[in-house]
Amino acid sequence: MSKITEEIMKLTESGIQELGFQVVSIEYVKEGKDWFLRFFINHEKGISLDDCEIVSRYIDEVLDTQYETLTAYSLEVSSVGVEKPINTNDDWENAVGKKINVNLYQAYNKQKMLTGELISIENGEIELKTYKEKIKLPINAISKANIAVNF
């Protein structure tokens, strides 16, 4: 998370939790000439369009009054979707036994993306059962991870 997104998280997370939602991640990215501030939220019963609107209004209010230094941006609030990112220790624990996608900073056996069942997580490492083998990877070698969708 960048310094800006960390500061925005500190300003907004507790209020969003009071509204009944979990902030899964925040992105502040430039695409072309435009800046986007994206909040990905979750709720155990799912996320509706009305939920996104409620959270969006809250974020607008907080940032307009407490964080005025951002370059003009478009705010987007959405559900994390079925391919939920795995970021926190709780996310990793909740993903044990599930199929996940893992992107690596450096290739493992000539692959930077692996898919498999998350067997365990301990001591800063995950054990992943791919279709070929069981492997252990340090979490800090993982650039991105998310729940895999089974079709």
Give mean pLDDT, residues 2-22.
Answer: 93
Tell me: pLDDT of 150 over 80. no
The mean pLDDT value for 80-109 works out to 89
For residue 1, the model assigns a pLDDT of 62
128 and 137 Cβ atoms separated by less than 8 Å: yes
Edge-to-edge order in the sheet of strand 111-122: 134-138, 125-129, 111-122, 99-108, 142-147
| CA distance readout (Å), 104 to 69, 108, 148 | 33, 8, 15
Residue 135: predicted pLDDT: 95
Q: Is residue 151 over pLDDT 90?
A: no
pTM beyond cutoff 0.85: no
Q: Using one digit for the tens of pLDDT, what is the confidence trace for 117-147?
A: 999 999 999 999 999 999 999 999 999 999 9
Using an 8 Å Cβ cutoff, are 100 and 87 in contact? no
Asked if pLDDT for residue 97 goes beyond 80, the answer is yes
Can you say whether residue 40 is alpha, beta or left, with left for phi > 0 and alpha for psi between -120 and 50 degrees?
beta
Structure confidence by residue, pLDDT tens digits, 14-64: 999 999 999 988 989 999 999 999 999 999 888 999 999 999 999 999 998
pLDDT bracket for residue 85 (50, 70, 90): confident
- Distance CA(59)–CA(64), nearest Å, equals 8
